[in-house]
Structure 1
């Protein structure tokens, strides 16, 4: 079983990748959220790993 520190770092990396891909496509957080079927706040918190506990659940 991976340590929680590793899991958090992986989620931070994933958030950075999502943000990079979103910005490459010139999408706002709101537009991306609408396309993904989630709220803008979720996208913001996911990209910055602030939504750690919910992100862990989402990734499973």
Structure 2
């Protein structure tokens, strides 16, 4: 019975770890998208970037 509980606990912890890793990856991806979008908006509004020659 102890072996069964140990296996059950390991499955639970493995599932939780996967959820945490997926959540952290999603947060990192959203952060990159947010910062990238902000940089693109700022570069469009920046008058110094004009390509007039």
Range class of TM-score, shorter chain: 0.3 to 0.5
Higher relative contact order (CA 8 A, sep 6+): 1
TM-score normalised by L of structure 2: 0.45
TM-score normalised by L of structure 1: 0.40
Q: Which has the higher helix share?
A: 2
Q: Which structure has the larger Rg?
A: 2
